[in-house]
Copies of this chain bind each other. A is one copy, B any other.
Amino acid sequence: MPSADPPPREPDVLPQPYLLFLGDIVEPAYAKTAFGLRDWARERCIGEFACADGKVSVGLPSLTPAQAHSAGAGSLVIGVANPGGRIPDSWLPSLLQALEAGLDLVGGMHARLGGIAVLREAAARLGRRLIDVREPPRELPMASGRKRSGKRLLTVGTDCAIGKKYTALVLSRAFARRGIDVDFRATGQTGILIAGRGIPMDAVVSDFAAGAAEALSPDAGADHWDVIEGQGSLFHPAYAGVSLALLHGSQPDVIVVCHEHGRAHVLGYPDYPLPGVEDTIELALRLGRRTNPAIRCAGVSLNTATLAPDQAARVIAAEGERLGCAVADPMREGAALDRLVEACLA
Contacts and interface: CB of A to CB of B under 8 A. Distances in A.
A127 B329 CA distance: 61
B269 A4 contact: yes
Interface string A208-220: 0111000000000
A308 interface: no
Contacts of A2: 268
Interface in A266-309: 266-269, 271-272, 287, 290-291
Contact of A205 (B144, B203, B210, B267): B203
Contacts of A245: 206, 240-242
27 contacts: A1-B232, A1-B239, A3-B267, A3-B269, A4-B268, A142-B238, A143-B237, A143-B238, A144-B238, A145-B269, A145-B272, A201-B206, A202-B207, A203-B205, A203-B207, A204-B205, A204-B206, A205-B205, A206-B206, A207-B239, A207-B242, A209-B241, A210-B240, A237-B290, A240-B245, A240-B290, A241-B241
Interface residues of A, number: 44
Interface of A: 1-4, 142-146, 160, 201-207, 209-211, 231-232, 234-235, 237-246, 248, 266-269, 271-272, 287, 290-291
Nearest to A3: B268
A206, A267, A291: which has the most chain B beta carbons within 10 Å? A206
Contacts of A160: 1
A134 to B, nearest CB: 11
Contacts of A232: 1
B242 A206 contact: yes
A205, A211, A241, A268: which has the most chain B beta carbons within 10 Å? A241
B235 A211 contact: no
Contacts of A206: 201-206, 209, 239, 241-242, 245
A306 B49 CA distance: 69
Given A1-B160, A4-B268, A269-B3, A145 B207 contact: no
Given A269-B145, A272-B145, A1 B238 contact: yes
Contact of A242 (B201, B239, B241, B269): B241
A248 B244 contact: no
Given A207-B242, A235-B290, 8 more contacts: A1-B160, A1-B232, A2-B268, A144-B269, A202-B205, A203-B205, A205-B206, A272-B290
Nearest to A269: B145
Contact of A248 (B142, B201, B240): B240
A187 to B, nearest CB: 11
A243 B244 CA distance: 10
Nearest to A147: B271
B271 A238 contact: no
A287 B1 CA distance: 23
A239 to B, nearest CB: 6
The 7 A-B residue pairs whose C-beta atoms are closest, nearest first, are A3-B268, A241-B245, A145-B237, A143-B238, A202-B207, A241-B241, A206-B242
